């Protein structure tokens, strides 16, 4: 069964609560705190698009640049009917912290259009994407703001954005966007990068907890780019057993282990999703509460809340999605001893290989997939180690025995890195 998005939970408030907790531990002064909390720039676009029947329809689009101290704003573009300025602002701030945890030279940005693209024809989606890119061509640029795919956008949309921007610039400028098709300046390994990063984080935490990964039961919510690839790699490269998977079409389970390539094939055919897959049973309850060792939420925000956190059975939550766990749920999970690998670390593989794509575009020299994957592993292992080191240092210095969560540890690593750049650059007044 698909899990409904709880629209009453505000991702921006959640992002700010997470930031506040880390900021308090770092004893940031209030001016600095405000500077790091607020987005640098937030824009709304009303985009007129000619529909196939000749009528004109207006769509609401957003782009937020949260912090650009460490480099150009970087962040995906989401097409979804629930997109709002607040959601995009939250996602942009998570990008700032994610790029800093991964230690790549970007700031944080995010964009979105309030639309269900499944209700539009391909031509309508293309005109909408190009109109958005054209409207934002002053903000976008390889040195200023570099978008990427997010929910309901992929290589196709990125190619249209690269083309639209290039037409405006009157030269081909591939580094304006990442997540492009290989033939249009994409990077080998980018499509799998977020899921590969999730897999590496899962491997790392299993090593840290001295827990075997082979044969471990994994449930994956969301079977798109992140969820589908995470499931595939965890099964294929780590020998984990995928026991449940879900998407908007429904949820399926098989305790003997789902044949992931077969499920991927089934789900891609006519974009029908996981429902109706013959190699598993329909799952009637919530996938988040399914009996498993590792849960990979890879759909949308606010899925694990104070309502259901007490019923999560997994020992590890690997956040493929951005913001799937609310701060109230975090507290419950912490008390229950559930280890959460936070989004700003766990799904940083995508933006890391986006960074590699941007580097390759600027060099005009392309790396083989094995090199991309090796560099990704190096970055992810380092980021994971930095977060663990922050946690262990902080725990050792805490007298009351309270343990720091990996989420707040990751925020602390990130905030310190961004702050250091602000200090070195100084304040332009």
Provide the annotated active-site residues: 110
Our finding on whether 150 is near ligand NAD (CB under 6 A) is yes
Q: Which residues pair with 73 in a beta bridge?
A: 107, 145
Chain residue at closest Cβ approach to ligand NAD: 224
- Structure token pair of residue 208: 């840290």
The token pair that represents 123 in the structure block: 């031509």
**Per CB under 6 A, does 108 bind ligand NAD?**
no
**Backbone φ and ψ of 279, nearest 5°:** -85, 15
Contact 316, 205 (CB under 8 A): yes
Number of residues that bind ligand NAD (CB under 6 A): 26
- Map residue 25 onto helix, strand or coil: helix
Q: Which range touches ligand NAD (CB under 6 A), out of 7-15, 18-26, 295-303, 366-374?
A: 295-303
The minimum distance between CB 225 and ligand NAD, in angstroms, equals: 4
Provide, rounded to whole angstroms, the least separation between the CB of residue 246 and ligand NAD. Answer: 5
- Whose CA is closest to 72, among 45, 95, 44, 43? 95
Residue 347 or 361 having the CB closest to ligand NAD: 347
- At its nearest, how many Å lie between ligand NAD and the CB of residue 160? 17
| Residue number with CB closer to ligand NAD (136 or 229) | 229
Q: Is residue 2 within the footprint of ligand NAD (CB under 6 A)?
A: yes
221: contact with ligand NAD by CB under 6 A: yes
Q: How far is the CB of 186 from ligand NAD (least distance, A)?
A: 12
Q: Minimal CA–CA distance to 36: which of 88, 87, 84, 100?
A: 100
183-212 residues in contact with ligand NAD (CB under 6 A) are: 194
Nearer to ligand NAD, 23 or 235 (CB): 235
Nearer to ligand NAD, 221 or 405 (CB): 221
DSSP letter (8 states) at residue 2 = P
| Site for ligand NAD contains 330 (CB under 6 A) | no
Q: Which of 233, 223, 179, 175 is nearest to 203 (CA)?
A: 233
Q: Binder to ligand NAD among 5, 32, 211, 275 (CB under 6 A)?
A: 5
Q: How far is the CB of 251 from ligand NAD (least distance, A)?
A: 7
Give the DSSP per-residue string, 373-406: HHHHHHHHHHHHHHHHHHHHHHHHH-TT-PPPPH
Choose one: 9-17, 128-136, 221-229, 235-243; the region binding ligand NAD (CB under 6 A).
221-229
Residue recorded with tokens 């309508």: 124
Residue from 117, 320, 327, 342 that binds ligand NAD (CB under 6 A)?
320
Pick between residue 232 and residue 247 the one whose CB is nearest to ligand NAD.
247
Residue 141: Cβ-neighbour burial (10 angstroms; 0-12, 13-18, 19+): middle
Integer Cα distance of 407 and 277 in angstroms: 35
Of 220, 296, 300, 376, the residue at the interface with ligand NAD (CB under 6 A) is 300
CB nearer ligand NAD, residue 223 or residue 356: 223
> Residue 224 CB: number of other CB atoms within 10 A?
19
Whole-number Å distance between alpha carbons of 76 and 161:
12
Applying the rule CB under 6 A, the residues between 233 and 252 that interact with ligand NAD are 246-248
Total length of the chain: 429
Rounded CA-CA distance 139/101 in Å is 25
User: Which range binds ligand NAD by CB under 6 A, 39-47, 150-158, 209-217, 406-414?
Assistant: 150-158
Residue 166 tokens, joined: 């290039």
Site for ligand NAD in 43-82 (CB under 6 A): none
Place of tokens 């940005």: 109
Number of H helices, E strands in the chain: 13, 12
Instruction: Choose the binding region for ligand NAD from 235-243, 296-304, 411-419, 421-429 (rule: CB under 6 A).
Output: 296-304
CA distance 268 to 167: 32
Please tell me whether residue 9 binds ligand NAD under the rule CB under 6 A.
Answer: no
* Contact pick of 187, 305, 322, 405 for ligand NAD (by CB under 6 A): 322
Min separation Cβ 262 and ligand NAD, Å: 16
CA distance 326 to 143: 34
Contact residues toward ligand NAD (CB under 6 A) are: 2-3, 5, 149-152, 194, 221-227, 246-248, 298-300, 320-322, 347, 350
């Amino acid at each position: 069964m698909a899990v409904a998005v709880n629209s009453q939970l505000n991702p921006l408030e959640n992002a700010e609560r997470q930031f506040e907790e880390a900021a308090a531990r770092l004893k940031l002064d209030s001016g600095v705190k405000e500077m790091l909390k607020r987005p640098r720039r937030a824009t709304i676009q009303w985009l007129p698009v000619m529909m196939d029947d000749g009528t004109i329809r207006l769509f609401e689009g957003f782009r937020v640049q949260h912090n650009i101290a460490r480099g150009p704003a970087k962040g995906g573009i989401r097409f979804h009917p629930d997109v709002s300025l607040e959601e995009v602002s939250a996602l942009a701030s998570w990008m700032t912290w994610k790029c800093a945890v991964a230690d790549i030279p970007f700031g944080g940005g995010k964009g979105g259009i309030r639309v269900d693209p499944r209700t539009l024809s391909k031509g309508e989606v293309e005109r909408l994407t190009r109109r958005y890119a054209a409207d934002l061509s002053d903000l976008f640029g390889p040195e200023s703001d570099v978008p990427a795919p997010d929910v309901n956008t992929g290589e196709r949309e990125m190619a249209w954005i690269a083309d639209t921007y290039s037409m405006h610039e009157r030269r081909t400028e591939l580094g304006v966007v990442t997540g492009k098709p290989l033939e249009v300046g994409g990077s080998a390994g980018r499509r799998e990068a977020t899921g590969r990063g999730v897999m590496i984080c899962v491997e790392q935490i299993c090593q840290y907890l001295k827990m075997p990964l082979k044969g471990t039961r994994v449930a994956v919510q969301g079977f798109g780019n992140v969820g589908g690839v995470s499931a595939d790699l965890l099964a294929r490269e780590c020998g984990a057993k995928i026991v449940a998977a879900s998407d908007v079409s429904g949820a399926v389970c098989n305790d003997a282990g789902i044949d992931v390539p077969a499920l991927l094939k089934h789900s891609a055919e006519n974009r029908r999703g996981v429902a109706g897959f013959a190699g598993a049973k329909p799952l009637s309850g919530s996938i988040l509460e399914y009996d498993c060792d590792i849960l990979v939420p890879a759909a949308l925000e606010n899925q694990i809340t104070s309502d259901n956190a007490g019923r999560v059975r997994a020992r590890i939550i690997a956040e493929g999605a951005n913001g799937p766990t609310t701060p109230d749920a975090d507290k419950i999970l912490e008390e229950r001893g559930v280890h959460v690998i936070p989004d700003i670390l766990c799904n940083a593989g995508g933006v890391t290989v986006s960074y590699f794509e941007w580097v390759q575009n600027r060099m005009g020299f392309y790396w083989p997939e094995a090199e991309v994957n090796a560099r990704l592993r190096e970055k992810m292992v380092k980021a994971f180690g930095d977060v663990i080191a922050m946690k262990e240092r902080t725990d050792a210095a805490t007298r009351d025995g309270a343990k720091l969560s990996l989420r707040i540890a990751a925020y602390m690593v990130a905030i310190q890195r961004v702050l250091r750049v602000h200090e070195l650059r100084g304040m332009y007044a």
